[in-house]
Structure 1
Amino acid sequence: MREELEQAGLDPKEAQLYLAILALGQPTVAQAAQAAQVSRTNAYDVVRRLTQRGLVTVTEIGPTGERAGRGRGVLRATDPEQFLTEWQARGNVLRELVPRLKAVMSTETSRPRVRYLEGQTGITAALWETLTWGVPLKGILSMMDLLQVPGRQTMEEYIAKRRDLGITLNVVRSPEKETEDLWPSHEQDLRDVRFAPPAHVFTMTMIIGSDSVAVISSRRENFAMMIDSREYAELQSGLFDSLWSASTC
């Protein structure tokens, strides 16, 4: 579990001490440090960082366990849901920050750029980046695979944000990859859906902008690839238009 906590953003000492506090209930700093095999000097600094993140609280208790003006300080872990709250808050900040960073990015070179993003985190980041393109989007979607990764909740959040930004989406899907009656053509959601001929079964998702293309794999390969190239985007846009014409509502 310590490795998972490190992936969630804790360093090794923070992860060890946090797990010790969870297991002990309401230990003192000394007790938690001993259980986590962290020096007491380091433990005070680690506790400070954990409290700043809202993962741990420090409470003064008296000899009977009731609150008192002066007593010994004990540690309590807050609800682990705090990790999700923190992640959502950080995601909101990054979604606002990334477009601003892209706006100041050097444009001295027009060379194409290809980026590989791994795992569910990478796939989610790729999806959200498409909303910074600020143009009507075209998409070839593999619904069955998107419901697995990044998952239905992330897709619902993506759709809501795209709608809020006023970005329209023309999308072609494969009937064979439909698992539920989800996300049909909908004027309020700014979405127009068509279905490809039976011979066309899409195992990947592609979202096309004016200067970039996002390619998203199934859970089996679990990656996203961002291609920043106006010519490539124009090529894929033209191929999409041909598929759109051959598809039905």
Structure 2
Amino acid sequence: MELQALMSLGFSEKKARFYLAALELGEAPIARVAKRAGVTRTTAYDLAAALEADGLLTPIEKAGRAQVVAEDPQHMLFRHDQQRRSIASLIPELRALRDHSLTQPRVRYYPGREGVVTILEDVLRCQSGEVKGILSMRELLEVPGDQHMAEHIARRRSLGIKLRVVRSYNEEVMDIWPTSADNLREVRFTANNDPFLMTSYIYDDKVAYLSSRRENFALLITSPELSALASQMFEILWATSQRDLDVTPPPAPQ
């Protein structure tokens, strides 16, 4: 019972056995304590040194012979109180470091198709329940591809994450992804139909960029201020764009 209790406090099994043996024997040579604890003599010296550092064992000399004596277990409470006070005094400094890091923007660069997939996975961890997007259908159907996008849309829907998205008819290549209450998606198209060469998602305190297949990268920036600015710019674009139900696609080039 005592062995398990000491191990629950962070003692190794050998260290716990050695300390218990020392408590039972009182003053005793290390070799005798080692034998009672069932450890080798070499290991015993290491254990004795560790327990001495913890303040739980004291080396003494008696009749010209080196011995050890176990200290009162109450010392563990004293040591615990010391550690608690040390941690308490350190917490304000550690919190200051954490708070400073949280105010610093974080920029992550992801190369290749796997980078695009990584960003799309992060979008599904959106906490606010709404994602704003400026999408290039043409590029997304190339990378990561229509099958992956279909799976992404299905997962977004199952997670209850809404998507408001602005697209350009010049980047539409298939009659898919319309406004849909079932798919939690509302679509608008820009009035001038200028193409979007990249895709951007804005959610929580993040702004993500997915490049064209030619440049082949993804970028994720975590910054409350940048996210707020990107959201404001999105809302301006959203207000000047047209609902997909109100838009007649431009004629195909001759």
CA contact (8 A) 2:168 2:193 kept: no
Distance in 1, matches of 2:106 and 2:226, equals 11
SS at match of 2:214: coil
Distance in 1, matches of 2:199 and 2:135, equals 4
1:109-165 CA distance string (max 9 Å, x none): 220000000000111011110111222110000000100001001101110110000
1:33-52 CA distance string (max 9 Å, x none): xxxxxxxxxxxxxxxxxxxx
1:213 offset after TM fit, Å? 0.7
Distance in 2, matches of 1:228 and 1:201, equals 26
Change in Cα spacing, 1:111 to 1:152, as seen in structure 2 (3 Å) is: same
1:125 pairs with one of 118, 140, 145? 118
Residue matched to 1:194: 188
**Structure 1 segment 107-122 matched on structure 2, within 5 A:** 108=99, 109=101, 110-122=103-115
Distance in 2, matches of 1:126 and 1:160, equals 16
CA contact (8 A) 1:137 1:167 kept: yes
Residue matched to 1:143: 137
SS at match of 1:192: strand
SS at match of 2:235: helix
Distance in 2, matches of 1:223 and 1:125, equals 11
1:188-207 CA distance string (max 9 Å, x none): 10000000122532100000
TM-score, length basis structure 2: 0.55
Distance in 1, matches of 2:142 and 2:192, equals 22
1:210 offset after TM fit, Å? 2.4
CA contact (8 A) 1:206 1:216 kept: yes
One-letter amino acid of the structure 2 residue matched with residue 178 of structure 1: E
TM-score, length basis structure 1: 0.56
Gap regions ≥5 residues in structure 2:
1-96, 244-254
Distance in 1, matches of 2:126 and 2:157, equals 14
CA contact (8 A) 1:175 1:198 kept: no
Change in Cα spacing, 1:123 to 1:169, as seen in structure 2 (3 Å) is: same
One-letter amino acid of the structure 1 residue matched with residue 234 of structure 2: F
Distance in 2, matches of 1:107 and 1:207, equals 27
Residue matched to 1:183: 177
CA contact (8 A) 1:205 1:215 kept: yes
Gap regions ≥5 residues in structure 1:
1-105
Distance in 1, matches of 2:124 and 2:229, equals 20
1:227 offset after TM fit, Å? 0.3
Distance in 1, matches of 2:199 and 2:191, equals 17
Distance in 1, matches of 2:144 and 2:219, equals 14
SS at match of 1:139: strand
Distance in 1, matches of 2:146 and 2:127, equals 23
Structure label with greater radius of gyration: 2
Distance in 2, matches of 1:210 and 1:246, equals 23
Q: Kindly, what percent of the aligned residue pairs are identical?
A: 47
Residue matched to 2:199: 205
CA contact (8 A) 1:143 1:179 kept: yes
Change in Cα spacing, 1:112 to 1:144, as seen in structure 2 (3 Å) is: same
Q: Does 1:236 align with 2:243?
A: no
1:107 offset after TM fit, Å? 5.0
1:167-208 CA distance string (max 9 Å, x none): 000000010000000110000100000001225321000000
Residue matched to 1:222: 216
Q: What value does the CA root-mean-square deviation take over the aligned residues?
A: 1.2
Distance in 2, matches of 1:242 and 1:168, equals 19
Residue matched to 2:154: 160
Change in Cα spacing, 1:248 to 1:120, as seen in structure 2 (3 Å) is: same
Distance in 2, matches of 1:186 and 1:178, equals 17
Larger deviation, residues 229-238 vs 198-207:
198-207
